[in-house]
Amino acid sequence: MKRDLEIDLLRSFVAVAAHLNFTQAANAVGRTQSAVSLQVKRLEEIVGKRLFDRSRQSVAVTHAGEALLVYANRILAANDAALSHIQRPEAAGLVRIGAPDDYATFLLPPILSAIGKDYPRLHLEVTCDNACDLLPQLETRALDVVVATHPTNAVAGEIARYEPLHWVAAPDYLDDPIAALSLVLFPAGCVCRDIALDALRRIDRPWRVAYSTRSVGLMEKAILENASVSVMEASTIPASLKVIDGREGFPSLPDVAISIHRPTKSEAHVSLVADYLLSKLAGTASRDVVGQ
């Protein structure tokens, strides 16, 4: 008959393996040394192997102990995570999030969906606009959290990650190096717009803004139908567009930073959402779009 590994026994075992000292391990788990010794003995009886080589001068983990230690750490981590998840206070309330339209379209939906599943009593309200128009709304408390883009030489807020910028166009786009470059961009104040125009000015390439819109959907349509070019972050490039980096007349572009902004003092449920966004954005790598 199979026997179960008890959490308390594993916790004491891991403590002894970490300290290689029964007295220190006992202090770490809040038990007496004799109690920890008995727990280790019980665990050895369950697994049928000696877990430690003990002498008056030292304690060493056996090969069997090393093997069990890997599983013990996993079991304890799963146990602690399960308890933390089940016992955490249920967050509730309204959290107003501001984000540019491209983030709201490509980056935020899976994250917000996950928040909704984990915290069903939270109500998330998203406002789309340029970051320069959203950030002042934090100060007036019209918004609780803002996801914003910053140039890497002027970063603000809490950095979630860095994003490469790319020149993008329709798949069949043919550049006319003599004519003014037709651009589709977010409105004035957009970091990516400023970077694109500065890059073109540096190489003295003529340009004109054909479309200026806050909607990434309208940007995509204008690019496809009007032989125009734009600059977009790697994770926000629609599948219908092609990266044209490296062509003559299209200067290299720097990375930008995606940051989370929140008031210095926030309610617990607002801080929870801000931390969630920060963690998930940091853990989501940019799509590899080169050669797309």
> Which pLDDT score is estimated for 86?
81
Whether the CB-CB separation of 5 and 46 falls below 8 Å is answered with yes
Give the Cα separation of 290 and 242 in Å (integer). Answer: 9
Highest CATH level, class, for 89-292: alpha beta
> Which pLDDT score is estimated for 88?
73
Q: 289 pLDDT exceeds 50?
A: no
- Pick from 133, 248, 234: which is nearest to 186 by CA? 133
- Pick from 286, 261, 15, 26: which is nearest to 147 by CA? 261
> Which pLDDT score is estimated for 284?
65
3-state helix, strand, coil in the chain (%, to 5): 45, 20, 35
Give the Cα separation of 12 and 29 in Å (integer). Answer: 7
- Kindly list the domain boundaries of the chain, sorted by start residue: 7-87, 89-292
- Pick from 281, 20, 11: which is nearest to 161 by CA? 281
Q: What is the dotted CATH code of the domain comprising 7-87?
A: 1.10.10.10
Q: 287 pLDDT exceeds 60?
A: no
- Per residue in 267-277, pLDDT (tens digit) is 999 999 999 99
Q: 2 pLDDT exceeds 90?
A: no
Whether the CB-CB separation of 235 and 242 falls below 8 Å is answered with no
- Pick from 47, 21, 46: which is nearest to 36 by CA? 21
- Per residue in 31-88, pLDDT (tens digit) is 999 999 999 999 999 999 999 998 878 999 999 999 999 999 999 999 988 888 787 7
Residue range 15-36: mean pLDDT, rounded: 94
The percentage of the chain sitting over the pLDDT mark of 70, rounded to a whole number, equals 97
For all residues of the chain together, what is the average pLDDT? 92
The maximal CA–CA distance of the chain, rounded, in angstroms, is 86
Q: For the residues of 17-79, what is the DSSP string, one character each?
A: HHHS-HHHHHHHHTS-HHHHHHHHHHHHHHHTS--EEE-SS-EEE-HHHHHHHHHHHHHHHHH
Give the Cα separation of 104 and 152 in Å (integer). Answer: 21
Give the Cα separation of 120 and 22 in Å (integer). Answer: 45
> Which pLDDT score is estimated for 285?
52
Residue range 25-36: mean pLDDT, rounded: 94
Give the Cα separation of 159 and 182 in Å (integer). Answer: 32
Amino acid (one-letter) located at 57? Q
The percentage of the chain sitting over the pLDDT mark of 90, rounded to a whole number, equals 81
Residue range 252-279: mean pLDDT, rounded: 93
Higher pLDDT, residue 166 or 292? 166
- Per residue in 85-118, pLDDT (tens digit) is 787 777 889 999 999 999 999 999 999 999 999 8
> Which pLDDT score is estimated for 292?
45
- Per residue in 132-191, pLDDT (tens digit) is 999 999 999 999 999 999 998 888 899 999 999 999 999 999 999 889 999 999 999 999
